Structure 1
Amino acid sequence: MSDSNPRRVKQSVSSPAKAGKASVSKPRKRTSGDVKELSPRNIMQAFEGNIEPVTPTLMYRLCALLVSFVMILLPVIYIAMIGGVIWGVYFHAVHSLGLFEAGSSSTSTHNRGKGMVLLLLVYLTPIVVGVILIIFMLKPLFSRPSHSSAFRALKREKEPLLFMFVDQVCDAVGAPRPVQINLDIQVNASAGFRRGWLSMLGNDLVLTIGMPLVAGLSIRQFSGVLAHEFGHFSQGAGMRLSFIIRSINIWFMRVVYERDAWDERLEYLSQSIDIRLGWILHLARLFVWITRKILWLLMMTGHLVSGFLMRQMEFDADRYEARLAGSRCFAATSKRLALLGVANQGALSDLGQFYAEGRLVDNLPALININLSKMPAEVKQAVTLHIKEEQTGWFDTHPATLERIANIQNEDPEGIFRLKSPATILFTDFSREAKFVTRDFYYGVFGKKIPREDLHSVDELMVRQEAENESHKAVQRFYQGAIYPNRPLLFSESAVKTPADAKQCAQELKSNREKLLKYREKYKSFVDEYREYESKSMSVAMAEVAVRARLKLKVDDPFFKSLTNYDKVMNAKHGLERKKSGTRVELEKYESLIVNRLERALQLFHVPKVQTQIADAALWERDLHDLLQALQATNSQLSRLWELHMNAVALQVLLRFFDELRTDDKYCEVVLSEMEKMETLLNSIYARFQRLLYPFEHSRVDITIAEFALVRIPESNNPGELLGAAEELFENLMALNHRVLGRLCLLAEEVETLLGFEVLPEFEEAIPDELES
């Protein structure tokens, strides 16, 4: 049965306005013959015996003893502080009662009432403050960490080869076997006590494997990573000491930085009740703050003392890895893990783009691996440079990579396990487990189960992403790299009609192309000049709110430092506007060439002789109207979007001081003024797109551009929500403008190719600093 909804029919992946001409070949699936080449028996037999244990030195043992003493001493010091405060409150409560006797005998009858009230206040204040302080000092001892990370527990009968492999690595290293194996989405692997402190007396261990790690490593590299993790557990005392040190350090970090409802309640009460009583709560908050600073000092002491020992433990674990997989493999794995970390960040960025259109990838480890395989050479070089320049800090628990590689140079370069097949062969069905872990990850992020229809295959989403990349490249080619995102094109929809004289139109197209190439460098210099003025305008916006709210900002910029009062800010603002106005005239000369070239190409598309030679011409004809409408709408709002962006930057500056100055009238006045300005601008821009349909395929049919750009209108009295909405609207509409322009440029290039014109060379554009902020 055909779909009668015209908008639903429009949602076709084959549409050039939806998916472009890009295609992505599917990765070759492993055939049954590949699996037979490495049977479980072959894999197990590849282990050539066990490795020699790493023997700790005497200095290492003495250091471990000293660190153990200090790490246990730190919580004892904190508990002793609590005891001191309790004793102090008790001593005051018992021994200060004499104040009332002395007060009643030394004052006259007339002043005795007031004196007794004052004495009661002097007596009760230390008790109230002390009790609050004791509660807040005891609270960290009983608080429990939140367990938000999702994982999937495996059963031995479901994944027998993986369990056999892990057991073999443990035997080779001389470590106890784990009783449980979990899977998660981290680019990491870890081994630890399954029930925390309750498992300290036995070998109740759990191994957690990050699926992206398995997807991105060979079985040899993966075996080395496991050997490293179990190397920590090859010595019973060492693994328990490591657990104690890490637990204490993590506890200190939590109690120093975490805040809960108790903290918020104390802050609220201190500010809401009358100052004649509220000052007692303010005093209590001061002492709580002091205790947290003492905790911070203890925490840093613990990090400093334990850092050296933890780094030595890492060195020893590295030697286990090198002895099992080989020292050369260790070096390769170290770099591979760094690249996987970068690929993971790229995959998360891709997820954000997919989610904007209501889609999520069903296999995140596969997406990370694709990002790794497509990583540009310059990014890989940057990772290599980072590894070379990395230095070990005093508080680091892991040594720098080059130090670790130097540490294992004397180990066996080949190791006892040298298979190089993908680590995924250890799983019965790796793809299935990766998809389960991906869904668990979404559940942890969104707090709800994701409907199956929102999950899409990696291949499908990569085709879409490749189409987007082609659109971006088309814009770069069309502008010849001389593009500035917030400059609107003065484009007229009515101009895109079948030309009266096709030959003359083609000649004008050719002339515009030639002029673009001729004036590109000159225009690029004006773009750079305009970008500098915009950057300074951002500084002016920050300085303006700082002056109005009487803030002292520390910005390492000579231009910003010169804006010391309101008159100087206004003079700088007007001066920049004049300069931008002059540069804008020059920019429009080049931009008119781009507009004319694009209009001529789209006019020629409507010539029947041209249109019959274009693939999917009917789909282009159908989508062109919506694309042009969207381009007109976004172009009309670019200057206001940029104003909204600068407004958001100014509000961000103000909100840095919110906790400190929330009771300052002048500060609050400026904040409310900026919020009102932002809300008005945001609502006005949003309204412009409420009746325009989103021109690309979306999981929701007939979604408007407004609904795509902003999930929901924020509350007007919530500065955080308002700021987030402004940034979301800015980013999505700017991206949409660029995307629509890219689609039109692709069609224009196709028309030019049919006319015998070569596609212009590509230019890469650096991301402006102000957009990165």
Structure 2
Amino acid sequence: MPDQEAVSRTLNELKHQKIQPVAKSPRYLLALLVAACAVILLPAAYLALITGLSSLLWVYYDYLGWKFNHIQDLMWLPLYLGPAISLATLVAFLLYPVFTTRITHLTQKVLEPKEQPTLYAFVAQLSRVLGVKPPQLISVTHEANAFAGPADGLWGMLRGKRRLVIGLPLAELLSVKQFGGIIAHELGHFSQRNGQFLVTLMRMVQSWFHRVVADENHNLERFTQRLSQEWRVIGIFIMFARALLVITRFFFVAFGAAADLVTGFLLRQMEYDADRYEARLIGMDVFTETTRELFYIQLAHELAMNELLLYVPEGKLVDNLAAFTAYHRQRISGETLRRFNQLQAETTRSLSDSHPTFQKRIENVRKAGGQAILVSEERATSLFQDFSELCRSFTSAYYRALLKEQFQPNMLHDVETLTLQRKIEHEAGQALARFYRGPLNLSSGSLRFPSRWERDKKGFVPNPLALAKQARRFFEEEQADYRRLLNQYEVLLQQKMQCQRVLLCAPFAQSEPNESKPFSHNHIEILNGQMLKVRRLIARHETRQGLLWWQRGFFFDQIGHSTWVPEALKALPNWRALLRLLNQSLPKVEQLRLVRAEVAALLEQEQADAKRNRARDLLLKQKATTLYTMTRVIVEPLLHQKLSSESGGRETDLGTLPAFHQPRHGGPREIFKAATLFIEQFHDLRCRVIGRLCLLAEHADTDAGLDPLPQPDPADAPTNVLF
């Protein structure tokens, strides 16, 4: 609930205040005149172009109609009717956008006055201070911005129905005086009714021109294509009309550019005048601070929405978008802000931009002068009834509109849980890189644990320091050899893939019969023998590694206090079991990669060779079926598994991961893409599990008094093993 005393104090501050009216600037009046002329002239030019084309048709028939009376042969009938068909098609494409203009709105939630009486009272008080009419509707959105305009487009503008849209992140992060300044800016736009009316008309005109140029007439496109296929003679004239449309679009590009220039000029002048309302309410200094902070919040919002995409594949969504934006605003470093400010200072605007630069806005409001009226330092959330619940309900509605049936309420997690999980994921990835001196290899890192984890535990008295030193000695002495063997094995596997690709495609290649082949089946046998030897050496290292990890498990529960260790120890059995299951699938994944390479070779040859080869197509379908079957064999045991969370949140059901539902039935190319996605996600899952174990081991080493492992040299990183 809002602080009623603070809210009352804020409203009382404004009760007897009123700012000096903001006079319309000469540049704004000039922009109105230019926009009014453009609103008349551009549609007139649009109609004049269509009228001119129709006049050409009238001249054609006026001339040809007299001659056609003397022509008795029906072979001249297409010449007589063709121009009419071509012109009718061309005019249809030009007029279609006028009758099918689509207006899209941001996802918004309308606030009722009885639900948010304090907010409506605050906005009404600001409207009285500014000398403008208050909005009838107030809505909220997840965007880091605020908007003001007609409630129902042009019709709402004619009826005088006004709407104010407030971005929830602004209320989350700003004080009342900063928040009130932004609201005052938007309310200032209500005093620019003529400008808003002209902007609405200009945007409608821009929409017409854009849709003509962008060729978004999909329904008309399908109709004309079907008509040209059914009536071949008509199809010739329709194609001629489409060619004329390409030429005509150059005119609409010029019309659109002119509309952009006029609209941009008018919007910039409207922003300048609205800024004066804001500056007279909160003062020059607070205006500068608020405008700069608004840019920071918009940057944080962009970062938050980008990071949100990382959670979606796992079926996890943050339950409060405003709080998530606030979290990212706090994370932006001072160096990032300094660079951002420098970029803002160097930014220039084009003639079509709707907002002036930061420096221009500051220079503009210096002329406004005046003393600050709104000085409240309270948080803007005090103006809302139960702001957190409002944010959560809006966030759920936003996801429901965006994801539709894919959204489930159990996907929502609080901000603290998700951000802690992401932080631990990052730390685990760094620990993994330190232990393996680079990224984990797809064919390695098995950590061959003893079959029974609790074996000999009763008779074994662990010495944490001795075990930590033993593990560190192994790392220093044998890790280099281990990495070398892993890279050697990957090189041999890549050679085997290439050999199988060539041998598979050799019968279908366009080459001379006596031409020698670079590979033979003996090459594969030799490579298999070499890979087996290297694999045995790798297995010895991994057995010793697994034994050391097993011994470390005896004193994981003795690690000193940490924010996540207690929950990690609860999840540890799940991690071990899941890693054992993933390691059992590694040989199958290797075979999957080999078959995937063969499918890739057949797809490449199919694309390069224009001739259809029935034997090759049958082989491609067979290999794609094998790819599908092998993927399903690996996927099935994983679908019912869970990855326990070390941050106290809910477990991640692996059945919700998109790649684990792939591939669906489809062509070879779709199955190939699905298998690639699955291999990537399988590898990512193993890295996440092993990274958590590495992070636990690092905590154990630190608790035993050992120094942290050094960061790996980028030169030690293995080659890319996925492709």
TM range (shorter): 0.7 to 0.9
Shift of residue 469 of structure 1?
3.2
CA separation of 1:253 and 1:487: change in aligned 2, threshold 3 A = same
Correspondence 1:193 to 2:150: yes
Counterpart amino acid of residue 690 in structure 2: L
Q: Distance in 1 between matches of 2:285 and 2:49?
A: 51
**2:47 maps to amino acid:** I
1:716 corresponds, among 666, 684, 704, to: 666
Which residue of 684, 690, 694 maps to 1:745?
694
Contact 1:687 / 1:706 at 8 angstroms: preserved in 2?
Answer: no
SS in 2 for 1:279: helix
Alignment CA distance shift 1:149-1:598 (3 Å): farther
Please give the residue correspondences for 1:200-279 in structure 2 after superposition, counting only pairs within 5 Å: 200-257=157-214, 259-266=216-223, 268-269=225-226, 272=229, 278-279=235-236
Instruction: Kindly provide the CA deviation profile for residues 195-238 of structure 1, in whole angstroms up to 9, marking residues without a partner as x.
Output: 22223345321111122222222222211111221222224433
Residue 611 of structure 2 is aligned to residue 620 of structure 1: no
1:735: how far off?
3.1
Task: Summarize the Cα distance change of 1:204–1:617 in structure 2 as closer, same or farther, 3 Å threshold.
Answer: closer
Task: Call closer, same or farther: CA 1:231–1:273 in 2, change over 3 Å.
Answer: same
Aligned to 2:511: none
- Match of residue 689 from structure 1: 635
Compared CA separation, residues 59 and 706, structure 1 to 2 (3 A): closer
Superposition deviation, residue 376 in structure 1: 4.2
Work out whether 1:55 is the aligned partner of 2:10.
no
The aligned residue for residue 546 of structure 1 is none
User: Structure 1 residues 266 and 645 mapped into 2: Cα distance closer, same or farther (>3 Å)?
Assistant: farther
Cα 1:158/1:509, change in 2 over 3 Å = same
Residue 736 (structure 1) aligned with residue 673 (structure 2): no
* AA in 1 matched with 2:707: E
The amino acid across from 2:325 in the alignment is I
Q: Which residue of structure 2 lines up, in the alignment, with residue 556 of structure 1?
A: none
Q: Give the 3-state SS of the residue equivalent to 2:360 in structure 1.
A: helix
In structure 2, the residue matched to 1:143 is 100
2:437 counterpart of 1:491: no
Of 511, 524, 544, the match for 2:473: 511
Q: Which residue of 1 aligns with 2:546?
A: 599
In structure 2, what is the Cα distance between the partners aligned to 1:271 and 1:645? 43
Q: Deviations over 1:688-716 (max 9, x none)?
A: 33323544149999955696524453453
TM superposition shift of 1:423: 1.1
| Distance in 2 between residues matched to 1:748 and 1:168, nearest whole Å | 60
Question: Structure 1 651/103 Cα, relative in aligned 2: closer, same or farther at 3 Å?
Answer: farther
Task: Give the alignment partner of residue 68 of structure 1, picking from 36, 46, 50.
Answer: 36
C-alpha displacement of 1:297: 2.1
Q: Provide the rounded CA distance (Å) in 2 between the counterparts of 1:294 and 1:645.
A: 50
User: Does the 8 A contact of 2:140 with 2:167 survive in 1?
Assistant: yes
Aligned counterpart, 2:431: 474
1: distance between equivalents of 2:381 and 2:81? Answer: 67
The DSSP-based 3-state class of the residue aligned with 1:690 is helix
**What is the aligned partner in structure 2 of residue 386 from structure 1?**
343
Q: 1:274 to 1:303 in 2, by over 3 A?
A: same
Report the CA distance between 1:42 and its aligned residue.
3.4
Cα distance in structure 2, aligned partners of 1:242 and 1:426: 31
Offset at residue 181 of structure 1 (A): 0.9
Question: Contact between 1:362 and 1:457, CA under 8 Å: does it hold in 2?
Answer: yes
SS of the residue corresponding to residue 643 of structure 2 reads coil
Shift in alpha-carbon separation, 1:235–1:60, aligned structure 2, 3 A: closer
- 1:483 maps to a residue whose letter is G
| CA distance in structure 1 between the partners assigned to 2:430 and 2:319 by the alignment | 27
Contact 2:278 2:287 survives alignment (8 Å): yes
SS in 2 for 1:438: helix
Matched, 1:433 2:390: yes
Match of 1:418 in 2: 375
Match of residue 328, structure 1, among 285, 288, 293: 285
Q: Return the alpha-carbon distance in structure 1 between the equivalents of residues 122 and 635 of structure 2.
A: 57
Separation of aligned partners in 2, 1:639 and 1:483: 24
Q: Does residue 406 of structure 1 match 2:355?
A: no
Greater alpha carbon shift after TM alignment, 206-215 vs 488-497? 488-497
TM-aligned CA distance change 1:617 to 1:420, over 3 Å:
closer
Percentage identity across paired residues of the two chains: 27
- Name the structure 2 match of 1:107: none
Stretch of structure 1 that moved more, 78-87 or 145-154: 145-154
Residue 519 of structure 1 and its aligned partner are, at CA, apart by 11
Query: What are the Cα deviations for residues 103-140 of structure 1, in whole angstroms up to 9, with x where unaligned?
Result: 44xxxxxxx5xxx32x1121222111111222222211
Secondary structure (helix, strand or coil) at the match of 1:759 reads coil
SS in 2 for 1:38: helix
Is contact 1:188-1:209 (8 Å) kept?
Answer: yes
> In 2, Cα distance between the equivalents of 1:679 and 1:304?
56
Letter in 2 for 1:364: L
CA distance in 2, matches of 1:466, 1:702: 16
Q: CA deviation at 1:622?
A: 4.7
> Hey, what does 1:658 align to over in structure 2?
none
Higher mean C-alpha displacement, 686-695 vs 150-159: 686-695
- Cα distance change, pair 136–391 in 1 and its aligned pair in 2 (3 A): same
* Cα root mean square deviation, aligned: 5.0
251, 267, 273: which one aligns with 1:294: 251
Q: Distance in 2 between matches of 1:279 and 1:636?
A: 56
Aligned partner (choices 83, 93, 98) of residue 51 of structure 2: 83
Q: Which moved more, 1:240-249 or 1:178-187?
A: 240-249
Q: TM-score, normalised by structure 2?
A: 0.76
Structure 1 residues 745 and 219, CA gap change in structure 2 (3 angstroms): same
Structure 1 residue 603: Cα displacement:
2.5
Displacement after TM superposition at 1:163 (Å): 0.8
Letter in 2 for 1:599: G
Between the aligned partners of 1:634 and 1:389, the Cα distance in structure 2 is 53
Output the CA distance in 2 between the equivalents of 1:324 and 1:310.
Answer: 21
Cα separation, partners in 2 of 1:413 and 1:760, compared to 1, 3 Å = farther
Structure 1 range deviating more: 207-216 or 698-707:
698-707
Deviation at 1:71, TM superposition (A): 3.2
Equivalent position amino acid for 2:40 in 1 = I
2:359 and 2:94 mapped to 1: Cα distance?
Answer: 42
| CA distance in structure 2 between the aligned counterparts of 1:46 and 1:631, rounded to whole angstroms | 68
Question: In the TM superposition, what is the alpha-carbon distance from 1:192 to its structure 2 partner?
Answer: 0.6
CA distance in 2 between partners of 1:60 and 1:651 (Å): 61
2-structure distance, mates of 1:718, 1:311: 53
- Segment of structure 1 superposing worse, 426-435 or 388-397: 388-397
Q: 2: CA distance between counterparts of 1:731 and 1:271?
A: 46
Partner of 2:147, secondary structure, is strand
8 Å CA contact 1:515, 1:593 repeated in 2: no
Instruction: State the partner residue of 1:155.
Output: 112
Displacement of 1:178 in angstroms is 0.6
- Residue equivalent to 1:317: 274
1:190 CA drift (Å): 0.7
Aligned to 1:122, the other structure's residue is in SS state: helix
Structure 1 stretch displaced more, 496-505 or 356-365: 496-505
User: Counterparts of 1:274 and 1:201 in 2: how far apart (Å)?
Assistant: 47
Whether the 8 Å contact between 1:231 and 1:316 is mirrored in structure 2 is yes
Query: Where do 5+ consecutive residues of structure 1 fail to align?
Result: 1-31, 105-111, 535-570, 572-583, 656-660
- Larger displacement relative to structure 2 (75-84 or 695-704): 695-704
Paired residue total: 663
